[in-house]
Protein backbone atom coordinates (compact mmCIF):
# COMPACT_ATOMS: atom_id res chain seq x y z
CA UNK A 1 0.00 0.00 0.00
CA UNK A 2 1.34 3.42 -0.99
CA UNK A 3 0.78 6.01 1.72
CA UNK A 4 3.13 8.79 0.60
CA UNK A 5 0.34 10.91 -0.89
CA UNK A 6 -2.42 9.77 1.45
CA UNK A 7 -2.91 13.25 2.94
CA UNK A 8 -1.96 15.29 -0.12
CA UNK A 9 -4.42 17.81 -1.56
CA UNK A 10 -2.35 18.56 -4.66
CA UNK A 11 -4.53 19.38 -7.64
CA UNK A 12 -7.69 19.82 -5.55
CA UNK A 13 -9.88 22.88 -5.10
CA UNK A 14 -11.45 23.87 -1.80
CA UNK A 15 -14.00 26.46 -0.68
CA UNK A 16 -14.07 27.38 3.00
CA UNK A 17 -16.90 29.57 4.28
CA UNK A 18 -16.11 31.75 7.26
CA UNK A 19 -12.53 31.40 6.11
CA UNK A 20 -11.21 34.83 7.06
CA UNK A 21 -10.63 34.05 10.73
CA UNK A 22 -10.79 31.43 13.48
CA UNK A 23 -11.28 27.79 12.63
CA UNK A 24 -12.06 28.52 8.99
CA UNK A 25 -8.76 30.29 8.49
CA UNK A 26 -6.88 27.51 10.30
CA UNK A 27 -8.40 24.96 7.93
CA UNK A 28 -7.71 27.09 4.85
CA UNK A 29 -4.06 27.43 5.80
CA UNK A 30 -3.78 23.68 6.35
CA UNK A 31 -5.29 22.97 2.95
CA UNK A 32 -2.86 25.37 1.30
CA UNK A 33 0.07 23.64 2.99
CA UNK A 34 -1.10 20.36 1.44
CA UNK A 35 -1.23 21.86 -2.06
CA UNK A 36 -4.90 22.74 -2.56
CA UNK A 37 -6.16 25.81 -4.39
CA UNK A 38 -8.27 27.51 -1.75
CA UNK A 39 -11.15 29.98 -1.95
CA UNK A 40 -12.36 31.62 1.25
CA UNK A 41 -15.64 33.38 1.84
CA UNK A 42 -16.76 35.71 4.60
CA UNK A 43 -19.43 38.36 5.07
CA UNK A 44 -17.01 41.26 5.59
CA UNK A 45 -15.22 41.96 2.31
CA UNK A 46 -12.24 43.85 3.75
CA UNK A 47 -11.46 41.11 6.27
CA UNK A 48 -11.89 38.40 3.66
CA UNK A 49 -9.64 40.17 1.17
CA UNK A 50 -6.95 40.76 3.80
CA UNK A 51 -7.03 37.14 4.97
CA UNK A 52 -6.74 35.84 1.41
CA UNK A 53 -3.82 38.17 0.77
CA UNK A 54 -2.03 36.90 3.87
CA UNK A 55 -2.85 33.25 3.15
CA UNK A 56 -1.56 33.63 -0.41
CA UNK A 57 1.95 33.41 1.04
CA UNK A 58 1.23 29.69 1.45
CA UNK A 59 -0.34 29.03 -1.96
CA UNK A 60 -3.23 29.91 -4.25
CA UNK A 61 -5.90 31.64 -2.14
CA UNK A 62 -8.75 33.81 -3.46
CA UNK A 63 -11.25 35.94 -1.55
CA UNK A 64 -14.96 35.56 -2.39
CA UNK A 65 -16.72 37.82 0.13
CA UNK A 66 -20.43 36.96 0.32
CA UNK A 67 -23.07 36.73 3.03
CA UNK A 68 -24.26 33.12 2.87
CA UNK A 69 -26.92 33.47 5.55
CA UNK A 70 -29.62 33.44 2.83
CA UNK A 71 -30.28 31.17 -0.13
CA UNK A 72 -29.70 34.15 -2.42
CA UNK A 73 -26.29 34.66 -0.81
CA UNK A 74 -25.44 30.99 -1.34
CA UNK A 75 -26.35 31.29 -4.99
CA UNK A 76 -24.29 34.48 -5.37
CA UNK A 77 -21.22 32.78 -3.88
CA UNK A 78 -21.73 29.83 -6.22
CA UNK A 79 -21.85 32.17 -9.23
CA UNK A 80 -18.69 33.94 -8.09
CA UNK A 81 -16.87 30.64 -7.62
CA UNK A 82 -17.89 29.58 -11.13
CA UNK A 83 -15.93 32.55 -12.50
CA UNK A 84 -12.77 30.82 -11.28
CA UNK A 85 -13.36 27.05 -11.37
CA UNK A 86 -15.63 24.50 -13.04
CA UNK A 87 -15.15 21.82 -10.37
CA UNK A 88 -15.04 21.79 -6.57
CA UNK A 89 -13.31 18.96 -4.70
CA UNK A 90 -13.82 20.13 -1.11
CA UNK A 91 -16.50 22.29 0.51
CA UNK A 92 -16.09 23.27 4.16
CA UNK A 93 -19.33 24.63 5.63
CA UNK A 94 -17.78 26.60 8.47
CA UNK A 95 -19.59 29.97 8.55
CA UNK A 96 -21.54 30.18 11.77
CA UNK A 97 -23.06 32.34 14.47
CA UNK A 98 -23.83 32.07 18.18
CA UNK A 99 -26.28 33.71 20.56
CA UNK A 100 -26.50 33.48 24.32
CA UNK A 101 -29.35 34.90 26.40
CA UNK A 102 -31.55 34.04 29.36
CA UNK A 103 -34.39 31.63 28.56
CA UNK A 104 -37.13 34.14 29.40
CA UNK A 105 -35.55 36.87 27.27
CA UNK A 106 -34.33 34.78 24.34
CA UNK A 107 -35.55 36.53 21.15
CA UNK A 108 -36.80 35.14 17.87
CA UNK A 109 -34.02 37.03 16.09
CA UNK A 110 -31.45 35.13 18.15
CA UNK A 111 -33.04 31.89 17.07
CA UNK A 112 -33.44 32.64 13.37
CA UNK A 113 -29.99 34.18 12.82
CA UNK A 114 -28.18 31.22 14.35
CA UNK A 115 -30.30 28.36 13.03
CA UNK A 116 -30.39 29.79 9.51
CA UNK A 117 -26.62 30.21 9.23
CA UNK A 118 -25.53 27.14 11.19
CA UNK A 119 -27.97 24.57 9.82
CA UNK A 120 -29.91 25.94 6.84
CA UNK A 121 -26.91 27.42 5.01
CA UNK A 122 -24.82 24.20 4.88
CA UNK A 123 -27.70 22.44 3.15
CA UNK A 124 -28.55 25.14 0.63
CA UNK A 125 -24.94 26.08 -0.14
CA UNK A 126 -24.13 22.42 -0.80
CA UNK A 127 -27.21 22.23 -3.01
CA UNK A 128 -26.18 25.37 -4.92
CA UNK A 129 -22.68 23.96 -5.46
CA UNK A 130 -23.86 20.48 -6.43
CA UNK A 131 -22.85 20.87 -10.09
CA UNK A 132 -19.13 21.61 -9.53
CA UNK A 133 -19.03 19.11 -6.66
CA UNK A 134 -20.46 16.34 -8.83
CA UNK A 135 -18.15 17.28 -11.68
CA UNK A 136 -15.08 16.89 -9.44
CA UNK A 137 -16.44 13.63 -8.02
CA UNK A 138 -16.19 12.01 -11.44
CA UNK A 139 -12.42 11.87 -10.91
CA UNK A 140 -12.17 11.12 -7.18
CA UNK A 141 -14.30 11.15 -4.04
CA UNK A 142 -15.67 14.65 -3.40
CA UNK A 143 -15.71 16.01 0.13
CA UNK A 144 -18.14 18.09 2.16
CA UNK A 145 -17.08 18.89 5.72
CA UNK A 146 -19.63 20.51 8.03
CA UNK A 147 -18.21 22.29 11.07
CA UNK A 148 -20.43 21.37 14.00
CA UNK A 149 -19.52 21.74 17.69
CA UNK A 150 -19.17 19.73 20.86
CA UNK A 151 -22.16 21.80 22.04
CA UNK A 152 -24.23 19.77 19.59
CA UNK A 153 -23.25 16.62 21.51
CA UNK A 154 -22.96 17.62 25.17
CA UNK A 155 -24.13 20.61 27.21
CA UNK A 156 -22.45 23.40 29.13
CA UNK A 157 -23.96 25.99 31.49
CA UNK A 158 -24.39 28.65 28.80
CA UNK A 159 -27.95 29.46 27.70
CA UNK A 160 -27.20 29.17 23.98
CA UNK A 161 -30.42 27.48 22.91
CA UNK A 162 -30.38 28.15 19.19
CA UNK A 163 -26.67 27.32 18.94
CA UNK A 164 -26.89 23.88 20.55
CA UNK A 165 -30.03 23.08 18.56
CA UNK A 166 -28.42 24.13 15.27
CA UNK A 167 -25.24 22.16 15.86
CA UNK A 168 -27.08 19.02 16.96
CA UNK A 169 -29.26 19.38 13.88
CA UNK A 170 -26.20 19.82 11.67
CA UNK A 171 -24.68 16.60 12.99
CA UNK A 172 -27.82 14.66 12.08
CA UNK A 173 -28.17 16.52 8.78
CA UNK A 174 -24.61 15.43 7.97
CA UNK A 175 -25.70 11.80 8.29
CA UNK A 176 -28.67 12.29 6.01
CA UNK A 177 -26.71 14.23 3.40
CA UNK A 178 -24.01 11.57 3.47
CA UNK A 179 -26.52 8.84 2.71
CA UNK A 180 -27.76 10.68 -0.39
CA UNK A 181 -24.54 12.14 -1.73
CA UNK A 182 -22.62 8.88 -1.47
CA UNK A 183 -24.59 8.00 -4.61
CA UNK A 184 -22.68 10.82 -6.36
CA UNK A 185 -19.26 9.72 -5.03
CA UNK A 186 -19.27 12.54 -2.47
CA UNK A 187 -18.38 11.87 1.17
CA UNK A 188 -20.11 14.11 3.72
CA UNK A 189 -18.71 14.29 7.23
CA UNK A 190 -18.46 16.76 10.11
CA UNK A 191 -16.00 18.01 12.69
CA UNK A 192 -17.13 18.94 16.21
CA UNK A 193 -14.43 21.25 17.60
CA UNK A 194 -14.03 21.93 21.27
CA UNK A 195 -12.18 24.96 22.63
CA UNK A 196 -10.27 26.76 19.89
CA UNK A 197 -9.32 30.45 20.13
CA UNK A 198 -11.55 32.59 17.92
CA UNK A 199 -13.83 35.60 17.90
CA UNK A 200 -16.78 33.26 18.47
CA UNK A 201 -15.06 31.40 21.31
CA UNK A 202 -13.62 34.29 23.28
CA UNK A 203 -13.26 32.14 26.41
CA UNK A 204 -10.70 29.98 24.62
CA UNK A 205 -9.06 33.05 23.10
CA UNK A 206 -8.87 35.18 26.24
CA UNK A 207 -8.92 32.65 29.10
CA UNK A 208 -7.13 29.68 27.56
CA UNK A 209 -5.03 28.82 30.61
CA UNK A 210 -8.04 28.82 32.93
CA UNK A 211 -10.15 26.84 30.48
CA UNK A 212 -7.38 24.28 30.01
CA UNK A 213 -7.81 23.11 33.59
CA UNK A 214 -11.18 21.61 32.60
CA UNK A 215 -9.87 19.82 29.51
CA UNK A 216 -8.29 16.35 29.88
CA UNK A 217 -5.56 17.29 27.38
CA UNK A 218 -4.78 20.31 29.61
CA UNK A 219 -4.72 22.76 26.72
CA UNK A 220 -6.98 24.41 24.19
CA UNK A 221 -6.89 23.42 20.54
CA UNK A 222 -4.27 24.68 18.09
CA UNK A 223 -4.43 25.40 14.38
CA UNK A 224 -2.57 22.15 13.72
CA UNK A 225 -5.23 20.18 15.62
CA UNK A 226 -8.16 21.42 13.57
CA UNK A 227 -6.27 21.59 10.26
CA UNK A 228 -5.06 18.02 10.72
CA UNK A 229 -8.60 16.74 11.22
CA UNK A 230 -9.85 18.61 8.17
CA UNK A 231 -6.94 17.45 6.00
CA UNK A 232 -7.65 13.85 6.98
CA UNK A 233 -11.29 14.11 5.96
CA UNK A 234 -10.55 16.11 2.79
CA UNK A 235 -7.78 13.85 1.49
CA UNK A 236 -7.65 10.29 0.17
CA UNK A 237 -7.17 9.20 3.78
CA UNK A 238 -10.79 10.13 4.55
CA UNK A 239 -12.50 8.66 1.48
CA UNK A 240 -14.28 5.93 3.46
CA UNK A 241 -15.58 8.25 6.19
CA UNK A 242 -19.20 9.07 5.46
CA UNK A 243 -21.76 10.57 7.84
CA UNK A 244 -19.39 10.57 10.82
CA UNK A 245 -18.66 13.48 13.13
CA UNK A 246 -15.04 13.69 14.23
CA UNK A 247 -14.80 15.18 17.72
CA UNK A 248 -11.66 17.30 18.15
CA UNK A 249 -11.80 18.59 21.71
CA UNK A 250 -8.96 17.23 23.84
CA UNK A 251 -11.39 14.85 25.56
CA UNK A 252 -13.69 17.49 27.05
CA UNK A 253 -16.94 15.91 25.80
CA UNK A 254 -16.12 12.68 27.66
CA UNK A 255 -15.09 14.68 30.71
CA UNK A 256 -18.49 16.40 30.78
CA UNK A 257 -20.23 13.04 30.71
CA UNK A 258 -17.96 11.74 33.50
CA UNK A 259 -18.76 14.67 35.75
- Cβ-proximal residues to 188 (8 Å cutoff; 6+ apart), any chain: 144, 146, 174, 177, 178, 181, 182, 242, 243
Bridge-partner residues for 112, per DSSP?
Answer: none
DSSP labels, 140-204: S-EEEEEE--GGGTS--SS--HHHHHHHHHHHHHHHHHHHHHGGGTEEEEEEEE-S--SSS-HHH
For helices 108-115 and 161-181, what crossing angle results, to 10°?
30
Q: List Cα–Cα distances, 207 to 96, 99, 157, in angstroms.
A: 22, 19, 17
Interatomic CA distance for residues 219 and 209, integer angstroms: 7
- Are residues 16 and 24 in contact, defined by beta-carbon separation less than 8 angstroms? yes
For residue 39, indicate whether it is catalytic. Answer: no
- Are residues 69 and 128 in contact, defined by beta-carbon separation less than 8 angstroms? no
Active-site hit among 39, 66, 81, 163: 163
Interatomic CA distance for residues 95 and 18, integer angstroms: 4
Q: Which residues are catalytic?
A: 163
Amino acid sequence: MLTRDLFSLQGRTALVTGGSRGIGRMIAEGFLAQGARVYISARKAAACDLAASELSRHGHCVSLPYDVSTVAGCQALTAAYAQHETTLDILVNNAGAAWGEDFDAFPESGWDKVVDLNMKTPFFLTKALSEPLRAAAKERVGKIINIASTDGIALNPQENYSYVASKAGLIHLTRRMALRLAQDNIAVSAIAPGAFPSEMNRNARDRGDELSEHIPAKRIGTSEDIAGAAIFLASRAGDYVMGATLVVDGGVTHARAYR
